[in-house]
């Protein structure tokens, strides 16, 4: 295509987040292809984005964040659960906690067992995890050494990090040196998307280098109102998007494809605004039905977590860093040298365990933090303490995302139905009890003060359930609202190549197309999926399948640890 017409492109990518930045980079590696990347939010120049320890700031306000909240959750005392989503270059990779976790191999084996998804097995996905990554500790059969995404491992200088890992060992859980390698199960040091003391978002890893190419155009503060389809085409063919511009919308054309990468909330929202979704609900809002796909916005999954907090008897926690003078010193060291407490996300140890015998791969995840504080900083610490974030990995509750009106500016209705099943409640009870057991081990004897939350009085199933209803929060991993699956699956929205069923020239590439949420954080899997699908879109031969084995506990059927 000639570059002469500035409003005609080969590909239009909607959303410059974890997946969208990867696609923008990989598609423009072909100099004959012209790509437009649209982002509703601003650029990512804020120091609060790039300083790893400051991630609570963009999480806690709407400057770089859609700042969504759920509807009153029926199984969580009617609370509206906070659901931040990145609205900035880099998307949620620019405001998240920077934890790098891939999920378990059996998650991807589960995907591949579903019709039409055989090429999403662990052996197919691992090469793309490696392709995406440069690991500071070096490459091996599991880890990459030449990819744009830099990944480092926590130094664990605070003794509380090692105390958590050793307490796990004393409780009977193995130490794992690399939970993204052969063995996820166990406790150990955690990886983060931090490079030379700076957050390494997909904007840094992928978009910055790609923006030097003449065949990529990036537009910020560009809100897409809908996907436009060619009149009379059968099946309906996406030919571009309408971008809100004041009181009107401008049409921008795509010659090859429109690709939605807005994430698990915004991608189904935009599909519905474009006439793709449950036909009854679309007609109720006066929208023309382009493709009747009842699965759009359904199957919403997320990880819920709670904090198990304990007071610390020694003044070694991050509470010492919370006063203004300490923050000033931390910020100065980070600005001058890119080192110190400002250069880490502080989630430097954690791990995965199984909640009971008979569970084949870990269903509980830990992030350990040497401070007692809320994830987004909204409940500041007032004492020396430490905490484990813990929650179930494969929830059985399902929610939905539904537009309220035909306006792209109005937030959709989001309902997760957290703790809506007995299985989810059972796993969360186990999470608290097993965490208490770890914290009771000798490794914490010199540090352990009083239980803070939940208190010692919270013991019975009913008491733990009540505590969870009142205090648990999202781990910020919404997914699965445009799930991949065969055309015979009435709830599938996309096929195994991320193409939207019932239309042509339209794909969704982000965490919304996961058929089921993976056992871990979602940034690394979303990047992997975009890397893999970029090859699909370009018609390239997939990377050779991996033969690397993965760990499953030999006695998982009869032993919990």
| Residue 241 marked as a ligand binder | no
Which strand (E) or helix (H) includes residue 20?
Answer: helix 18-27
- Written as one string, the DSSP assignment of 264-298 is HHHHHHHHHHTTEE-HHHHHHTT---SEE-TTTT-
Is residue 133 reached through a cis peptide bond, with omega within 30 degrees of 0 on the bond before it? Answer: no
Is 518 a known ligand-binding residue? no
User: Which residues are annotated as catalytic?
Assistant: 477
Contact between 391 and 306 under an 8 Å Cβ cutoff? The reply is: yes
Residues contacting residue 151 through CB under 8 Å, at least 6 positions apart:
100, 133, 134, 135, 136, 143, 191, 192, 193, 200
How long, in residues, is the chain? Answer: 561
Q: In whole angstroms, what is the distance from residue 387 CA to residue 409 CA?
A: 38
Burial (CB < 10 A; 0-12, 13-18, 19+), residue 268, is buried
Determine whether the annotation assigns residue 96 to a binding site: yes
Strands 35-38 and 216-219: parallel
Give ∠ CA 61-67-73 in degrees, rounded to 5: 125
The number of angstroms, rounded, from the C-alpha of 368 to the middle of its chain's C-alpha atoms is 18
How is residue 239 written in tokens?
Answer: 């030919």
Query: How far apart are the C-alpha atoms of 280 and 167, rounded to whole Å?
Result: 54
Torsion of CA 458, 461, 462, 464, to 10 degrees: 40
Q: Structure tokens of 348?
A: 């430097």
In eight-state DSSP terms, residue 492 is -
Is 345 annotated for ligand binding? no
Angle among Cα 221, 531, 7 to the nearest 5 degrees reads 35
**Token digits of residue 128:** 């793309």
- For 306-354, the DSSP string reads EEEEEEESSS-SGGGG-SHHHHHHHHHHHHHHS-SGGG--S--EEEEE-
CB 312 within 8 Å of CB 381: no
Answer yes or no: is 145 a known binding residue: no
| Residue 262 marked as a ligand binder | no
Pairwise CA distance, residues 424 & 451, whole Å: 24
Assigned token pair, 29: 């590696």
Q: E strands, 4-123, where?
A: 8-14, 35-38, 68-69, 82-83, 99-100
Contact assessment for residue 357 and residue 557, using Cβ atoms and an 8 Å cutoff: yes
Nearest residue to 444 via CA among 542, 244, 309: 309
What SS3 string covers 1-13?
A: CCCCCCCEEEEEE
List the binding residues.
Answer: 88, 96-99, 224
List the binding residues for FAD.
Answer: 88, 96-99, 224
């Amino acid at each position: 295509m000639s570059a002469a017409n500035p409003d005609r492109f080969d590909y239009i990518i909607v959303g410059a987040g974890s997946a969208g930045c990867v696609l923008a980079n990989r598609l423009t590696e072909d100099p004959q292809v012209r790509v437009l990347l649209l982002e509703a939010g601003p650029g990512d120049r804020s120091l609060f984005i790039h300083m790893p320890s400051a991630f609570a700031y963009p999480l806690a306000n709407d400057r770089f964040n859609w700042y969504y909240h759920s509807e009153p959750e029926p199984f969580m005392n009617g609370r509206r659960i906070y659901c931040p989503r990145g609205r900035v270059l880099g998307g949620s990779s620019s405001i998240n906690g920077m934890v790098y976790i891939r999920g378990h191999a059996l998650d991807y084996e589960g995907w591949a067992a579903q019709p039409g998804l055989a090429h999403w097995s662990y052996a197919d996905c691992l090469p793309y995890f490696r392709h995406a990554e440069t690991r500071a500790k070096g490459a091996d059969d599991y880890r990459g050494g030449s990819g744009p995404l830099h990944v480092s491992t926590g130094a664990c200088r605070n003794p509380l990090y090692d105390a958590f890992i050793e307490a796990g060992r004393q409780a009977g859980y193995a130490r794992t040196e690399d939970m993204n390698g052969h063995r996820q199960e166990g406790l150990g040091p955690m990886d983060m998307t931090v490079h030379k003391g700076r957050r390494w978002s997909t904007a840094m890893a992928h978009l910055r280098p790609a923006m030097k190419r003449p065949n990529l155009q990036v537009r910020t503060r560009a809100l897409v109102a809908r996907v436009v389809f060619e009149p009379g085409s059968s099946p309906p063919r996406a030919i571009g998007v309408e971008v809100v511009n004041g009181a009107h919308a401008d049409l921008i054309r795509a010659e090859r494809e429109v690709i939605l990468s807005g994430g698990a909330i915004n991608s189904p929202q935009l599909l519905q605004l474009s006439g793709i979704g449950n036909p009854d609900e679309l007609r109720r809002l006066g929208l023309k039905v382009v493709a009747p796909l009842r699965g759009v916005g359904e199957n919403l999954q997320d990880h819920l977590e709670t904090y198990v907090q304990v007071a610390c008897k020694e003044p070694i926690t991050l509470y010492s860093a919370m006063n203004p003078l300490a923050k000033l010193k931390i910020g100065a060291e980070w600005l001058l040298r890119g080192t110190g407490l400002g250069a880490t996300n502080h989630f430097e140890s954690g791990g995965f365990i199984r909640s009971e015998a008979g569970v084949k791969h870990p269903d509980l995840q830990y992030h350990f933090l040497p401070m007692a504080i809320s994830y987004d900083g909204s409940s500041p610490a007032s004492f020396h303490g430490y905490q484990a974030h813990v929650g179930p990995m494969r929830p059985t509750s399902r929610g939905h995302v539904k537009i309220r009106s035909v306006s792209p500016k109005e937030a959709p209705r989001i309902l997760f139905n957290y703790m809506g099943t007995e299985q989810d409640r059972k796993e969360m009870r186990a999470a608290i009890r097993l965490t208490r057991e770890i914290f009771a081990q000798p490794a914490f004897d010199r540090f352990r003060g009083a239980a803070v939350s939940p208190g010692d009085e919270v013991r019975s199933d009913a008491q733990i359930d009540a505590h969870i209803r009142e205090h648990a929060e999202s781990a910020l991993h919404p997914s699965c609202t445009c799930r991949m699956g065969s055309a015979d699956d009435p709830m599938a929205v996309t096929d195994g190549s991320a193409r939207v069923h019932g239309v042509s020239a339209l794909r969704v590439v982000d965490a919304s197309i996961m058929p089921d949420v993976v056992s871990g954080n979602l940034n690394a899997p979303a990047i992997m999926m975009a890397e893999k699908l970029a090859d699909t879109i370009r018609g390239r031969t997939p990377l050779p399948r991996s033969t690397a084995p993965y760990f499953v506990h030999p006695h998982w059927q009869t032993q919990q640890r």
